Amino acid sequence: MSNHFNMPDEVMHGFSRSAKDFMSALAGVPKATAIAPAILHQAGTRYWGQQWTLWTSMVNGSSDAQTVEGQASRDQRFRADEWSSNRWYSLLRQSYVANADLLEELVGATAYGESDKHRLRFFMRQFIDAASPTNYAATNPEAIRAAIESNGESLRTGMSNLLGDLARGTITITDEAAFEVGHNVAASEGAVVFENDLFQLIQYTPLTTHVAKRPLLIVPPCINKFYILDLQPDNSFVRFAVEQGQTVFMMSWRNADAETAQTTWDDYLETGVTEAIDTTLAITGADKVNTIGWCVGGTILSSALAVIRAREEDKVASLTLLTTMLDFTDPGDLGVFIDEQTVVQRELSLGSGGIYPGRELGFVFQMLRANDLIWPYVINNYLKGKSPAAFDLLYWNSDSTNLPGPMYAWYLRNMYLENNLRVPGKLTMCGVPVDLGRVDMPAYVLATQDDHIVPWQSAWRSTQLLGGDVQFVLGASGHIAGVINPATKNKRCYWIDSGIDGGIDGGAEGAATGDHERDADEWFASAQRAPGTWWNHWIAWLQPHAGGKVKARAKLGSRQFQPIEPAPGRYVKARAD
């Protein structure tokens, strides 16, 4: 499957390196990397004891389905009754669990450093997940039942689905025909009021008679399309902000193509964010703009603000960062794909121009949650012959974007590999040395508890880098669901500082202590839990930075910046090749 689904070079490199390292460890290569003999003996003794118990239970006709327990045995993949009621399937399930536990225990027992062990553990988990008996027609009771009940039609349909996905080069995870950008997703009313070769600027139609004097500019990630923030009316962050009296502007990044294959990181700052800020101010006539950045959009925004402050310009009233990393000390599972060799390969192939395909990057993100975003669809689409349901978030997830090679290669080296942004004066961007400590406007930093892309402790480190007062908030759930938590539903919860103002004094002086994770844990130990969504908390935090209220304008744009086309514009509709 990997050859057909365009597995990225980073993935292939990671698999080959991890497999080689693990085999070397088992073979006892004298690099102080081998598994300790005592631990290996204990793990083997426990494993064979479990296998003996399973097989004797099978021979004796025992109905006990819980002989071997483990996390995998409670996985939703094994929810079919047969995995517990049928002795053969119970044996298969529990044997799989024992094998998985053994492999994970061996990885944990190696004498590698934590970084290499993390890499090894990640790719071992990919192997373990792929080896699940639920992923194969001959050992999946639900697939067998579906084939019998349909007289083989489910298998025929599944093969047709597989061939279709092989032709597309990606796994279908939702009913894409159910959605249309600009119709039932990205449907908030507005207009494109500016565009250049890198982005379109959307201004949304006001929904209140009076609006905040200072506009709100949103910088979404360029690795995904902006409409995650404007899916449908009942879960649209854009609509919520407009309903709260904000004049909202949204950057819609161009899907990189041959014409933009030379675009650099500096271009994203200067031609992108800085241009968007200046245009927003020119249209509204405001003295300052409030800003939001999500994920890599937050990294780009913060970098642009560091450039602006280095130029002694003061045109941003506040900064909101949503699940953003500025300090890449702990990049989570994404870090397993990044090392010197991988980055050099990307620099040689793309650093001077080219396109990094969005589907490759999308597959990497799917691997981070393979049991949610890969294997359920392999089972349902191919083994059971079903079609995936319509789900707006998964439609957005599959609508990938390409990245320009020079920007991508620079980002890999200077953020993920060398972690240069956190060091004052280390990087020169747009011709000036940058220091996040000079980004001294009030900041609202949101992390999410189960984020698999930006670990919340990594997002916390931003509080030690930014120069102004920082409100740190920890939302429940993950990278997407923790952010898209609509006020209309007011689900989940969030944590805030237990102090009266909830703020943290920012500043770069604490950035080099190396003790941020302890600080983050200490913060959480004393944090106050609040029910519902962080959206309501954020809008209350933003109000003092609104600059007062003015009457909402009847027309979008201005004399200088006339509307070009209705929202969401052309750029967001361009599909990645």
Give the active site residues: 295
Instruction: Give the angle subtended at the CA of 155 by the CAs of 150 and 158, to the nearest 5°.
Output: 120
| Sign, Cα dihedral of 22, 26, 27, 30 | positive
**8 — phi, psi (to 5°)?**
-65, 155
Instruction: Give the angle subtended at the CA of 475 by the CAs of 471 and 476, to the nearest 5°.
Output: 165
Distance from C-alpha of 67 to C-alpha of 51, rounded to nearest angstrom: 10
Directed axis angle between helix 87-109 and helix 9-27, to 10°?
Answer: 80
Cβ neighbors of 416 (< 8 A, separation 6 or more) are: 328, 331, 334, 335, 338
Tokens (6 digits) for 91: 């044996």
Q: Report CA dihedral (571, 572, 573, 577) to the nearest 10 degrees.
A: 80
Q: How many residues are recorded in the chain?
A: 577
SS3 132: coil
Instruction: Give the angle subtended at the CA of 31 by the CAs of 27 and 35, to the nearest 5°.
Output: 50
Distance from C-alpha of 38 to C-alpha of 32, rounded to nearest angstrom: 15
HEC profile for 186-208?
CCCCEEEEEECCCEEEEEECCCC
Which candidate, 177, 191, 90, places its Cα nearest to that of 141?
A: 90
Q: Are 362 and 170 in contact (CB under 8 A)?
A: yes
Distance from C-alpha of 391 to C-alpha of 484, rounded to nearest angstrom: 14
Largest CA distance in the chain: 85
HEC profile for 532-561?
CCHHHHHHHHHHHHCCCEEECCCCCCCCCC
- What residues does 318 pair with on adjacent strands? 290
